[in-house]
Structure 1
Amino acid sequence: MIWPFRPQPPVPLSPKVRYEREFHSIAQWLGQSRIDPQQTTILPNDVDALIADCSVEQWPNRLFHFFRARMPGSAEGVEFDWIDADDAASQEQASDGQAAAVTFTRTDDGQISGGRFHRSLAEFPYRLSAVAAMAAAVHFRDTSGEERPSGTPSAEVLPVFFGLGPVMANAALHETEDHGSTAGQGADTRRNGNVSALEYGYCMAISDWAIGTNYASVSNMLRPDAREGLLNGIRFLQKTGDCSFERESVFAEPDSSFDVVQSRLGGSSKSVLLATLLDLRDSGSVSPEVANLLQDALDDQDPSIGCAAAAVLGRCSDIPEPAFEALLWQAESGTAAVSRAAVAALQPNPQHDERIKALLTKRLHTADPALATACIHSLLRFNDYPSELNQSLLKSLGRFVSAAAEDGMNLGLQLLHKVEQSPLDAIAHYFDDDPTVVAILSEHLSEA
């Protein structure tokens, strides 16, 4: 069948590339030998059957051993107990992120010796979320002691490699209804963790396309949004092949040679372009030769690409003149997100210090709190400042107070210490008609 139009991915470019990179990274970490594409897909109903004859006290251990059996290694002697989470704060913490809901204890050599499971997640409607939390945590922390860095979606994406995509997707959102309310009102919808059901669907689509799993065969068992991500994602990948990594190289380390980077930056795929920029951003320092290739990316219509290109230039200690001028233009005149990224990328440069400081001072004078914070962060890298900065900075501090922007306020006061001999007097003089602002800034100044 000939498709009259190019299929579109089910998720926007930025999350699309984020989860493609996560998938590729996990595939490299696990290696092909630890993944069985033909293993049984686990459905929520299968989990219900697994724990149907268990008491609340027993089923965490049964789940742990069930999930653990799907990975290499031994789990003998591992036992779980429960944490009571009666207060609201503990329950909020327990249900906020899937992997965080299970806490492992470990021996000195890295072996899992046991764990604690939040009791609040044993109750309906949180049970499926608890199962997903266990799946994520077990697959995230291998009993051999291997552990991926925390704080990334990897902990939640990892179970997709072991047949648990439907469990994770269907647990991505809690939807409960207050039966005492009118229709459509009083419903409680809470997202669990970092990955939405739609994004889980796309992760399963990547898995089917890249490593040969068969999540499509159980698509009718998924939430509608997860099913959309899976089926539309498979259609998109099969028809276009537009993925940030090559299917044949899913288990291989990416080639970071200059020729390959140049080819990827100049290609037609926005996914490949964004992934390459993010890889460069994460790689550390960037050479001037690579920086010279980024002008078109800075001007891209998709702000995620422009932001990534600016971040890469911020990694270059000697930005070539054309790239520097493009970065400076974006800092002054770019769209909001790209302008913030460009401002954040500006570094001291003996040839252009005065221009950079003048631009940052000008932007700071009228900036919203987010841009002002970026301006101040970049200005703190310098040791001397134009005289006009004092007024711009004090004006921004007033906006930070109005917006209750603590981070910006604290950074601004750090900079005020560098530009004013008596910061408190400067605050009192500038805000002489607003004692509330003076009191708030004075309090923060004393705590700094």
Structure 2
Amino acid sequence: MTPTLQTSDLHGFFTRLKIQTIPMLGIFKPTCPVDAETKAWIERRFDWLTQEFGFHHLTSRETMLPTADFLPLEYDCTEDGIYELMKRVANRMDVDHSLLDLNFYEDNAIGLDGAVSPASAGLYAEKDGRYQIWLEVNCLDDPGGVIATLAHEIGHVVLLGQKRIEPDTDDQEELTDLLVVFNGLGVFAANASLHETNIHGSGYSAWSVGKRGYLSMHAIGYALALYSLARGLARPDWLKHLRPDAKAYVSRGIRYVTKVQDCSYRPAIERCG
């Protein structure tokens, strides 16, 4: 004979089911796109940048995007064309472009075995009271990537050249990447953080996918999340200009901070909390 369930039995069954399934909801809790150490560093340094440059500096400026308003419709990959890009980036970062010298170099990224080794995209130096900005000639095809590199190297002018940090600051390169985000150029940094390279020469051809910059795409994504939330935007329009993987990290960071409220950079919570 088939057993039957009484109403009281059904009530007990669903009560037990509820008790057992509630803890499982924790698997849907938003997670941060970076590890705890990186998260703490980004929040601490973003707060330092806010104290150094002012909250108004962060919130009052338009976010620079890969559109005709900031990026030429036809990219002129010549010294004159790139110099014009450098002037735009310098103006955005409050640096007098007349103090900058634009130079180019070639970083040999091919080893004797034909393997591709990491190559730098730009360099910075000070000489005779002027700031030397160097760009690697094999990294000039993508205008967005050029802007990201220019922003990083000009960031050195802001931090090192203007004596805001010491030359031996341990995290100066990572902080310079973070400054790019703080100044509204983070979309370019995120899109350029992972790049493909094709190199051809006499007797060889090579292709590689490599990281550009000092912060990972995950870290730039979380930094952009703080940037957006501090500006009062939980759904920024500029997300559509990000490459899909970078967009996912930014969205994940925004969701984490707004839902979990675990962030030591208080403006990100207070403006969208």
Q: Provide the C-alpha distance between the structure 2 equivalents of 1:80 and 1:188, rounded to a whole number of angstroms.
A: 27
Match for 2:175 among 151, 154, 172?
154
Bigger share in helix:
1
Alignment of 1:227-306 (within 5 A): 227-247=247-267
**Compared with structure 1, are the counterparts of its residues 133 and 15 closer, same or farther at alpha carbon in structure 2 (3 Å cutoff)?**
same
1:202 corresponds to which of 202, 222, 240: 222
Given the alignment of the two structures, is residue 75 of structure 1 paired with residue 75 of structure 2, yes or no? no
Q: In structure 2, what is the equivalent of residue 221 of structure 1?
A: 241
TM-score by length of 2: 0.70
What fraction of aligned residue pairs are identical, expressed as a percent? 23
Partner of 1:139: 155
Gaps of 5+ in 2: 1-24, 200-205
Report if aligned partners of 2:104, 2:136 keep a CA contact under 8 Å in 1.
yes
Are 1:171 and 1:192, in contact at CA under 8 Å, matched by a contact in 2?
yes
How far apart in 2 are the matches of 1:156 and 1:92? 22
Report what 1:56 is aligned to: 78
1:18-68, CA deviations, whole angstroms, 9 ceiling, x for partnerless residues?
2222212222222235x1424222223459843735342123322221111
**Is the partner of 1:59 in helix, strand or coil?**
helix
Tell which has more relative contact order, 1 or 2 (C-alpha 8 A, sep 6+): 2
The correspondence for 2:192, drawn from 159, 162, 171, is 171
Q: Cα offset for 1:86?
A: 4.9
Q: Distance in 2 between matches of 1:88 and 1:130?
A: 21
Note closer, same or farther for the CA distance 1:64–1:71 as it changes in structure 2 (3 Å cut).
same
- Per-residue deviation, 1:137: 1.5
Question: Secondary structure of 1:117's partner?
Answer: strand
1:304-329 per-position Cα deviation (integer Å, ceiling 9, x unaligned): xxxxxxxxxxxxxxxxxxxxxxxxxx
Q: Distance in 2 between matches of 1:104 and 1:215?
A: 39
TM-score (normalizing by structure 1)? 0.45
Deviation at 1:177, TM superposition (A): 7.8
Which one-letter code corresponds to 2:157 in the other structure? R
Q: Distance in 2 between matches of 1:70 and 1:177?
A: 31
SS in 1 for 2:247: helix
Aligned pair count reads 230
**Bigger strand fraction:** 2
Residues 1:212 and 1:151: Cα distance change in structure 2 (over 3 Å): farther
Q: What is the alpha-carbon distance in structure 2 between the residues aligned to residue 190 and residue 48 of structure 1?
A: 26
Q: Rg larger in 1 or in 2? A: 1
Q: CA deviation at 1:16?
A: 1.7
CA distance in 1, matches of 2:128, 2:269: 36
Maintained 8 Å contact 1:82/1:116 = yes
State the partner residue of 2:54.
31
RMSD of equivalent CA atoms: 3.4
2:39 to 5, 11, 16: 16
SS in 2 for 1:163: helix
